[in-house]
Amino acid sequence: MMELQTIKTTKRALRRFLLDAQHLLPPLKAGEPASLPQRVLKLIQDLECVQIDPVSAVRPNQQLVLAARLPDFKPDVLNQLLKENLIFEYYANAASIIPMQDYPLFQPVRERLKKHLLPELKKLEDVAGGVLRRLEDEGPLPAKAFRSDQRVHGYWDNQNATTKATSHALNLLMDIGEIRVVYRDGQHRLFDLTVRSVPRPLLEEAKRIDPASAREALLEKYLRAYRVFEPGDPRFGWQKISAKERREAIDQRVKAGKILPVCIAGLKTEYYILAEDKERLLDIEAAVPAADFEEDDPIFFLPPLDNLLWSRKRLADLFDFHYRWKIYTPPAKRQYGYYAMPILAGDRLIGRIDPRLDKKNRRLHVQLLQIEPGVERTDVLMANIHRALRAFAERHGATAVTVTSEGRLIEI
């Protein structure tokens, strides 16, 4: 048995390591593939997955995550990768974009959902059969191509049945793996048969894969995605795992030398990293600059479901930044607005913006620009943030930026 090791480090070193792993620590990495589609695919592979969300105060979450890390990102690239069957959409950290190479790992998840959803699908047997026949005959189709007067209780209905039967059938068939999203036209998803759109070798591998091996590989994928992790996360491993099983999974990997505990000065919670990341962390710790951020550091605006923000506890522990997405909170109770995006400068989260993109008038309006207590609101810093906002607006098709400040509307 390998000798157990505990790495002693600081909040700053660990958060800079995390930012580096998340492609958010300048300077940007060199030696990336030349074409934009290759770089986007490589980034998704490095991040392991990118969460999907339809809310589009500026752009959907998945586009904002990638654009924060690739300034020349274009939304159509995701569609290109979908059409070329290089990525797929399924449940990882909620609904996510995932590299197609990982398709077999999710077979136990598909089987679990199939067992759970088959009774519901049985009720819509005729509707689902019609959906599958049309997709087989006509190829990729959006939900609006399927007409139905029948209304059922869908995933998001409360008391009343308001979901079109064909739409619910599409969601059920996608969850059990019979169909998948192969293109997005704005907010509309186009579906096709999985057997026709997933590369055959991966379909065959998914059929053969041992469930225990797949679950183990999926847990390893989770650990690579989080990079700094602890067993308190209820989404640990992206599977149905009890608190006891999460703790056992950590302990087994520590004993095997696959992961290492990290003791952080000033924190009671013990975090863990992959053993393969030890040297990377130590190198970053040795090169930590004196200041956590400079006034002219590159600025990043992170969407509410950015990979860095997945663990709110880790965010509070390492960044001393308390963040909740208040999308479902009544407006009067929102402290920072509907779509508050944290502002990252250097290795510190220094505030939030609450932006809206007016596509028709090509204007970005920032309804809130908040700077954290303890961060000096200097002229240099604000000028830097304004420059970053103008660049952010331009990247998303806006030619003008307005900010509400102290009750006044100003153009920057």
Name the token pair of 339: 């779509």
409 pLDDT band, cuts 50/70/90, is confident
Give the C-alpha separation, 144 to 51, whole Å. 24
Among candidates 110, 73, 1, which has minimal Cα distance to 303?
73
122, HSE (Cβ side, Cα atoms, 13 Å): 6
Give the C-alpha separation, 368 to 386, whole Å. 13
How large is the C-alpha radius of gyration of the chain? 23
Say what the pTM is: 0.94
> Cβ(60)–Cβ(357) under 8 Å?
no
Who has greater pLDDT, 239 or 407? 239
**271-274: strand order across its sheet:** 7-9, 259-264, 271-274
Q: Is 75 exposed, middle or buried (0-12, 13-18, 19+ CB in 10 A)?
A: middle
* Span of 14-18, 163-167, 176-180 with lowest mean pLDDT: 163-167
End-to-end CA distance of the chain: 61
Q: Which pLDDT score, from 0 to 100, does residue 161 have?
A: 85
Q: pLDDT by residue (tens digit) across 74-116?
A: 999 999 999 999 999 999 999 999 999 999 999 999 999 999 9
Asked if pLDDT for residue 270 goes beyond 50, the answer is: yes
Asked if pLDDT for residue 310 goes beyond 80, the answer is: yes
Q: Which pLDDT score, from 0 to 100, does residue 4 have?
A: 64
Q: pLDDT by residue (tens digit) across 353-375?
A: 999 999 999 999 999 999 999 99
Asked if pLDDT for residue 300 goes beyond 80, the answer is: yes
Q: Is 403 exposed, middle or buried (0-12, 13-18, 19+ CB in 10 A)?
A: buried
Q: Which pLDDT score, from 0 to 100, does residue 82 have?
A: 96
1 pLDDT band, cuts 50/70/90, is very low
